[in-house]
């Protein structure tokens, strides 16, 4: 990994759900920090125990310095700095508004607006955009040499690449324009007749929806340009020479096919493909194709138990054969000759020891 990530400032870990993106991001960041870089890793919904292991909590939406003493006891000497954070999508979206608002009044109007509060929850719900928006902020801060971005569990890893386009698409879209124009739909809808409905609603519910709507659209109009520029900036960042994508997969059929698809899309889009990680692989380890039942029975002193062990061994072998075939398939289809293989470890990788183990495979010479 070290050679592959040489000179890279932004490392984006992408792949199907549950393949090990969050774990790999954390272990990659740890390895780069150990080797002297100031690294921040942006994790998305990490398992609670993993977050605890890194000493991050939901608060702040900013990277926290991971205490080097946490890692030193596990044989990792951090020569640089390791920072870690948990992405808070809603908060990131609010911060974006704060930054893009032309003045305080607009900012407060938008943030306190009921329509915004509902909408931003929904937009932030597509974590793809907020993840890259945060990445962009951190990159601009100049505080880090390398940023490692974990990506949201999405069925389609491409959502992530398209996110800036989709947001500008929405903002530039006809629907919103029509709504925002002074003589547009909003003006017509909120003409005399409808205002009666709104005022009845207001009397009944105490909510001034009309006011909320008009404030929202007026204020958002002032942010449009800023949004478009930001989305352009984010797109540029994704295409930058200093940015690379690490595609992560397990050896299972669906993630493998998705990884191949994703690697192809990266190539088509002229985006850098920084490497392929195949995680949770059952190693073949050069063992015998079948367990020696007699030797097992002799060693265990129990024929039934020996038969069980032999069956378990056969199952492992089958999985290992499947995994080997999957890796071959990945090699052929992605053109990645030398994918990084991480074995299936015993138990989940929720603590520092687990991360150190994954790290060992990622950075093996």
Q: Which of Mg ion, ligand ATP, none does 348 bind, CB closer than 5 to 8 A by kind?
A: ligand ATP
Instruction: Give 306 or 355: the residue with its C-beta nearer to ligand ATP.
Output: 355
Cα distances from 38 to residues 66, 82, 139, 148, in angstroms, run 11, 6, 12, 11
Least Å distance between CB 282 and ligand ATP?
10
Least Å distance between CB 358 and ligand ATP?
6
Q: Taking the CB of residue 204, how many other CB atoms lie within 10 A of it?
A: 8
Write down the H helix ranges in 35-157. Answer: 48-54, 68-72, 89-100, 104-111, 114-125, 127-141
Q: Which of ligand ATP, Mg ion, none does 359 bind, CB closer than 5 to 8 A by kind?
A: none
| Residue list 146-205, contact with Mg ion (CB under 5 A) | none
**Helical pair 158-172 and 127-141, crossing angle rounded to 10 deg:** 90
Q: Which residue is nearest to Mg ion (CB)?
A: 22
Instruction: Give 117 or 126: the residue with its C-beta nearer to Mg ion.
Output: 126
Instruction: Give 22 or 168: the residue with its C-beta nearer to ligand ATP.
Output: 22
Q: Is residue 191 a contact partner of residue 268, using CB atoms and an 8 Å limit?
A: no
Least Å distance between CB 71 and ligand ATP?
18
Instruction: Give 48 or 188: the residue with its C-beta nearer to ligand ATP.
Output: 48
Q: Which residue is nearest to ligand ATP (CB)?
A: 153
Q: Is 163 exposed, middle or buried (0-12, 13-18, 19+ CB in 10 A)?
A: buried
253 forms bridges with which residues in the sheet? none
Instruction: Give 23 or 130: the residue with its C-beta nearer to ligand ATP.
Output: 23
Least Å distance between CB 77 and ligand ATP?
23
Q: Residue for token digits 């955009």?
A: 129
CA distance 238 to 122: 23
Residue 85's φ and ψ, nearest 5 degrees, are: -145, 160
Instruction: Give 86 or 296: the residue with its C-beta nearer to Mg ion.
Output: 86
Least Å distance between CB 247 and Mg ion?
14
Least Å distance between CB 63 and ligand ATP?
18
Least Å distance between CB 277 and ligand ATP?
10
Residue 244's φ and ψ, nearest 5 degrees, are: -145, 155
Chain residues that interact with ligand ATP, rule: CB under 6 A: 17-23, 47, 153, 279-280, 342, 344-345, 348-350
Instruction: Give 202 or 322: the residue with its C-beta nearer to ligand ATP.
Output: 322
Q: Residue for token digits 């002799």?
A: 298
Q: Residue for token digits 């090699």?
A: 331
Instruction: Give 18 or 173: the residue with its C-beta nearer to ligand ATP.
Output: 18
How far, in whole angstroms, is CA 19 from its chain's centroid? 12
Least Å distance between CB 309 and ligand ATP?
22
Per-residue interface string for the shown chain with Mg ion, residues 2-41, x marking contact by CB under 5 A: -------------------xx-------------------
Give the N- to C-terminal CA distance of the chain in Å, as an integer. Answer: 9
Q: Is residue 16 a contact partner of residue 249, using CB atoms and an 8 Å limit?
A: yes
Residue 249 touches Mg ion, criterion: CB under 5 A: no
Q: Which of 132, 329, 89 is nearest to 238 (CA)?
A: 132
Residues at the contact surface with Mg ion, assessed by CB under 5 A: 21-22
């Amino acid at each position: 990994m070290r050679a592959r990530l040489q000179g890279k400032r932004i490392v984006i870990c992408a792949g199907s759900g549950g393949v090990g993106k969050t774990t790999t991001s954390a272990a990659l960041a740890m390895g780069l920090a150990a080797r002297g870089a100031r690294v921040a890793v942006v994790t998305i919904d990490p398992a609670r125990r993993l977050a605890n292991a890194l000493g991050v909590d939901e608060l702040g939406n900013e990277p926290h310095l991971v205490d080097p003493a946490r890692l030193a006891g596990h044989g990792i000497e951090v020569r640089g700095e390791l920072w870690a954070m948990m992405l808070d999508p809603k908060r990131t979206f609010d911060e974006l508004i704060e930054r893009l608002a032309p003045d305080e009044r607009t900012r407060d109007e938008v943030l306190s607006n009921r329509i915004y509060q509902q909408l931003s929850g929904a937009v932030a719900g597509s974590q793809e955009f907020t993840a890259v928006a945060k990445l962009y902020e951190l990159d601009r801060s100049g505080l880090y040499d390398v940023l490692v971005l974990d990506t949201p569990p999405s069925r389609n890893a491409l959502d992530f690449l398209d996110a800036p386009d989709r947001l500008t698409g929405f903002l530039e879209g006809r629907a919103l324009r029509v709504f925002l124009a002074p003589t547009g739909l909003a003006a017509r809808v909120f003409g005399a007749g409808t205002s009666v409905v709104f005022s009845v609603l207001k009397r009944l519910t105490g909510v001034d929806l009309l006011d909320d709507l008009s404030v929202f659209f007026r204020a958002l109009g002032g942010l449009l340009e800023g949004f478009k520029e930001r989305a352009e900036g984010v797109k540029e960042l994704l295409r930058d020479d200093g940015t690379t994508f690490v595609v992560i997969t397990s050896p299972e059929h669906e993630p493998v096919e998705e990884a191949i698809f994703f690697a192809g899309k990266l190539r088509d889009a002229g985006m850098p493909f920084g490497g392929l990680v195949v995680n949770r692989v059952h190693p073949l380890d050069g063992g015998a194709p079948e367990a020696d039942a007699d030797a097992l029975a002799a060693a265990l002193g129990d024929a039934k138990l020996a038969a069980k062990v032999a069956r378990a061994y056969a199952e492992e072998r089958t999985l290992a054969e499947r995994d080997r075939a999957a890796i071959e398939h990945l090699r052929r289809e992605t053109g990645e000759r030398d994918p990084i293989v991480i074995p299936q470890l015993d138990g989940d990788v929720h603590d520092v020891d687990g991360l150190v183990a994954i790290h060992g495979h990622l950075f093996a010479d």
